[in-house]
Amino acid sequence: MHYFIFASKDSYITEDSSGQVILYPDYTDRNYGADEIIELKKEFANSYSTASYNVSRMLTQFDYTDVSASIVDGTITSPKYYLRYYEVEGQSESDKTYSLSSFPISQSWEEGVGKHFDNPKTKKGVTWTDYNSGSAWSLVADTNADSGSRTTGGGVWITGSGYEASQSFTNQSGDMEMDVTDIVNNHLGSLPNYGFITKFSGSYEDDGTPLHLKFFSKNTHTIYAPKLEVRWNDISFSTGSLNSLTMSGEFENHIFIKGLQPTYRESEKIRFRLGCRKKYVQKTFTESVQNATGSYVPSGRGLYSIVDVATDTPRVPFSAYTSMSCDSNSMYFDQRFNTFEPGRYYKVLFKLKYDDGQEIIYDNDEEFKVI
C-alpha cells in the first residue's frame, strides 16, 4: 500500500551574507510561506575577495494523526516513510553531483504568508533569522541541537543517529525521494514533531559550486505538492479453491477489474476485485458451466499501479508494496483515496512476472474519477 500525507505547512529560508544588496537583496528577514515554489540554492559572488554567498534551506511539516491511529489499530504495520519533493524545472541540474540531508526541526515555526516578489517584503512568519516575526531561532535544552548556520539563524535541528536522512544525486532528476523512516519513528515516539529542515549536506553547502533547485510547494496548483509517502506491505494471500494461472510465458494472460465504478469518493477505502484468466480461453464441449475468471496469480508475481491520466504520472507506482492479494473469492487490492486529488481521472495498470523472465504491463484503459 502507498498512502500519502500532504504538508500542513512549508516554506524556505534564505541567508544573504554577502552584504552586496545589488547582487543579493536582503533575504534574511523575508518570509516565503505562501510561495508556490520552494527553493534550495547556494550562490557565490566570486568576484569579491570574501566568500560571499546566498544559501537557502527548506522547511516542511506533516500531521501524523491518521497514520498514528492506523498503526495503533494494526491497519498499518512496519511502514517506511519517504519525503517527496518534485522539481519544477525537471532535469535542470541533471549534470550535477550533490547530496541533500534532512533533520527534525527542534523548535516550532510559523509558516507565514510571504512571497518572493512581495514589495515591500513580508517579514511575518519564518525567516533565516526568526522562527516567527521578531522571535529569533534559539538552541533548545537538548545536547544534540545544532543551529548549523554560518551566520545567526538558519533554523535549529536535532543531529545524531536516527535524526538524519540523506539522498545523493549524480546526473539525474532533482526529484527528491528521501527515506526519513527513522526521523518519523522518533516523531511518533517522544520527539516533538516540528517537521523537517532540508539542506545541502555537509560541505556541499559551502563548496563554492553554485546550484539552484526549485520544487513545488503545498501552494502549487498542480499534482506535485510535497508529501510524506507511507509504504507498507498489506498483502494477504489465501487461494481457497481457485486455480493457479499458468505463468510459464507460453500463454498470454488477461487481468482486469471486476465491477469498476466510474467514480469513487475521496473518503472511501476501496477493495478492487480482479479477474484473471488466459487471454484466449480454449473452447470445449461440456455439460457444466466454466468460470473463466476463477484463477489467481501466484503470490508476488502480480503488481498494480495507479496513474494520473492527464499527466501519465504514477500516483501509486509498481513496487514491492503493490503486490496483489488473494482470498477464496478472487485476487484483489485495497486503496485509500483520501489523499488523492479530487476532480481528476486515474487508471489502473497491472504487471505480471512470468517464469521466463518476462514482465508484461497490462493497460485496459480502466479509468475512474475521484470526487
For the chain, the structural domain boundaries read 2-231, 243-370
Q: What is the pLDDT of residue 207?
A: 83
Residue with cell 517537521: 195
Lowest-pLDDT choice from 98-107, 129-138, 188-197, 216-225? 129-138
> Topology of domain 243-370, per CATH?
Immunoglobulin-like (2.60.40)
Percent of the chain that is helix, strand, coil (3-state, to 5)? 5, 40, 55
- Which distant-in-sequence residues (6+ apart) come within 8 Å of 147 by Cβ? 137, 139, 153, 154, 155, 156
| Per-residue cell: 333 | 487490492
Give the mean model confidence (pLDDT) for residues 332-348.
95
Q: Does the structure show a pLDDT above 90 at 289?
A: no
Confidence of residue 47 (pLDDT cuts 50, 70, 90): very low
Confidence of residue 193 (pLDDT cuts 50, 70, 90): very high
Length of the chain: 371
pLDDT averaged over the chain?
A: 89
Q: Does the structure show a pLDDT above 80 at 145?
A: no
Q: What is the pLDDT of residue 16?
A: 73
| Residues 49-107 pLDDT 10s | 345 468 899 999 999 999 999 999 999 999 999 999 999 976 456 678 999 999 999 99
Q: Which of 12-26, 70-84, 132-146 is most confident?
A: 70-84
Give the mean model confidence (pLDDT) for residues 168-190.
95
pTM strictly above 0.75:
yes
Q: What is the pLDDT of residue 49?
A: 35
Q: What is the pLDDT of residue 293?
A: 58
In Å, how far are 176, 276, 360 from 11, measured between CA atoms? 16, 47, 42
In this structure, are residues 163 and 140 in contact, taking their beta carbons and an 8 Å threshold? no
